Amino acid sequence: MKRLLYFLFTISILIFWSSCRKDFEFDLSSGNLEFSKDTVYLDTVFSNIGSSTYNLKVYNNSNNDIVIPLVRLSQGQSSMYRLNVDGMTGSGPISGKEFENVEILAKDSMYIFIETTIDIQQLVSSETQFLYTDAIEFDSGSNLQKVELVTLVKDAVFIYPQRFLNSEGDYITETLTFDVDGDGMDDETTIEGRFLDDTELTFTNEKPYVIYGYAAVDGGKTLNIEAGARVHFHANSGLLITSGGSINAQGILSTDTELMEGEIIFEGDRLEPDFSDVPGQWQTIWLFNGSTNNIFNHVTIKNSTVGLLSEGNQDDVSKLNLTNTQIYNSSNFGILGRATAINAENLVINNSGQSSFAGTYGGRYNIVHSTLANYWSNSFRQFPSVLLNNYIVDEDNTTFTNPLEEANFTNTIIYGNDNPEMLLDKDNGDTFNFKFTNCLIRFSDSNNNFTGDEYDFDNATHYENVIFNEDPEFLDSYLNKLQIPNGSPADGFGIVAGNLFSDIIGAMRTIPRDLGAYESIEFEEED
């Protein structure tokens, strides 16, 4: 009897003690999970069903036991990934796709195993993407955290920065160190990325390239990009050419306007049809102060934040030379120049959240046979299609000027869905030289807001044979089809200028020259 009473007493003490222990009380996750990777790169899938398995470690570094209400794949049941979460596979139609009330003890971690279940034939036959992407979602609402998943469906070259575990147990991403301020000393930056090594300085057309973070070219190095190459950027990624470095992107004329087999194309890594024209998917191609001999020929840049950012070296005629180049769907600027030198012929820019072409803080710009349009319709834009100025204002509201040595536009169309589409923002404290010759410009100032000498359209020093406010009659400006028809006001209004004798798609230029990057054609009549 005593033994039974002792047993019952012991059991009751244990139950009471257990019910009071905080070890068994789980707090809701507060969105402060940490992960061994922010993106899981799975290997290339070549068979119908992928079976590669990768792991992700999830850390609870808090002092509390937590429960994650929901762990799921973003694409839900339709996802071509499946998960094993801390030994659990789930059951029913959401097996491997969704998990509820996942527990992690304080200062502990768990493993998630990921594998692909991709029908490669389905993806390849669609020819809409070479990457299959999804994400693992942890919790929801304000506590939502994600880890991206990327699977190569076609063979590709990945370029991405390394991640390191610091002394505090946190993962940090490799950042770029280079001479930012021109003092000859390397500076640490917060720009995530890495320098390309010598074996990576030629991008071929054999495989697409996928860049995470900034791929940088060091001083004394040249990145050569072959005709037909495809370069894809993840969000917040781009190319950076540092002082003394160069980029040589030499495409060739394509025979198929749909395939564009000779064109070099820079765009985002979301290749689904819904993302084909979405601006701001990646950052920019950044030609840093001191970079030189930057060449783009038969190149298309699309869906960036800033298509090309060129800084400094305004007395260097080889700073940036563009021929047969197209820039579309930039959420900010198509081309942004800062105290730099840009030469362009057969250049087309359209659909920019601010200006299509901005030459700021002075510089030297020579633009021939180009179409600088802006039919942005996603939001209100503050600036016209073309912006020129010769100053900057810093965070202390201090103005600094720099001479606009020259800004020459010849045989060029400057147009868009706003009016005016040209802004000459002059600071009288420095040089402001410009000239428009045989151009078509949209500029109407019914309220007399623009009264400076720079807007004296009768001054032949600045304006010679310029057409104002006549519609060039683009084929379809909102679809980036900026060809002009026979009989357009831009048809035959140009002069012989520049070094190219064909337009951007290889059509021979006639005399008198047509304005813009395209020779006029006969538009097909709609049924």
* pLDDT per residue as tens digits for the range 388-434: 999 999 999 999 999 999 999 999 999 999 999 999 999 999 999 99
Percentage, residues of the chain above pLDDT 70: 89
CATH number at residue 133: 2.60.40.10
195/389 Cα distance (integer angstroms) = 33
The per-residue pLDDT for 24 is 58
Report pLDDT for 431. 97
Domain of 191?
159-479
C-alpha 31, offset from chain centre = 28
4 occurs within a structural domain: no
Mean pLDDT (whole number) for 504-527: 92
6 in any annotated domain: no
CA distances from residue 292 to 249, 306, 319, 360, 382 in whole angstroms, order as listed: 13, 19, 5, 19, 31
pLDDT category of residue 438 using cuts at 50, 70 and 90: very high
- On whether both 184 and 228 belong to a single domain, the answer is yes
Question: Residue 124's pLDDT band (boundaries 50, 70, 90)?
Answer: low
Tell me what the mean pLDDT of segment 68-82 comes to.
91
- Report the alpha-carbon distance of residue 182 to residue 290 in Å, rounded: 8
Residue 50 is which amino acid?
A: G
Same domain, 103 and 173: no
Report yes or no: 325 and 367 within 8 Å, Cβ to Cβ. Answer: no
pLDDT score of 485 more than 50 = yes
Mean pLDDT, the chain, whole residue set: 89
pLDDT of residue 16 exceeding 80, the answer is: no
pLDDT tens digits for 259-295? 999 999 999 987 666 788 999 999 999 999 999 999 9
Query: Does pLDDT of 335 surpass 60?
Result: yes
| Peptide bond between residue 420 and the one before it cis (omega within 30 degrees of 0) | yes
Between CA 337 and CA 335 the distance in angstroms is: 6
Task: Out of 102, 122, 155, pick the residue that ends a domain.
Answer: 155
12 belongs to a structural domain: no
pLDDT at 123: 59
Query: In this structure, are residues 341 and 308 in contact, taking their beta carbons and an 8 Å threshold?
Result: no
Q: Which range, 52-56, 129-133, 498-502, is most confident?
A: 498-502
For the chain, how big is the Rg over CA atoms in Å? 29
8-state DSSP, 311: E
What does the DSSP 8-state code read for residue 452? S
**What is the domain count for the chain?**
2
Rounded-to-integer distance, Cα 325 and Cα 329, Å: 14
In whole angstroms, give the CA distance from residue 221 to residue 199. Answer: 11
pLDDT, mean of residues 128-145: 82
pTM above 0.85, yes or no: no
- Of 463, 479, 495, which marks where a domain is finished? 479
Phi-psi region of 280 (alpha: psi -120 to 50; beta: other; left: phi over 0): left
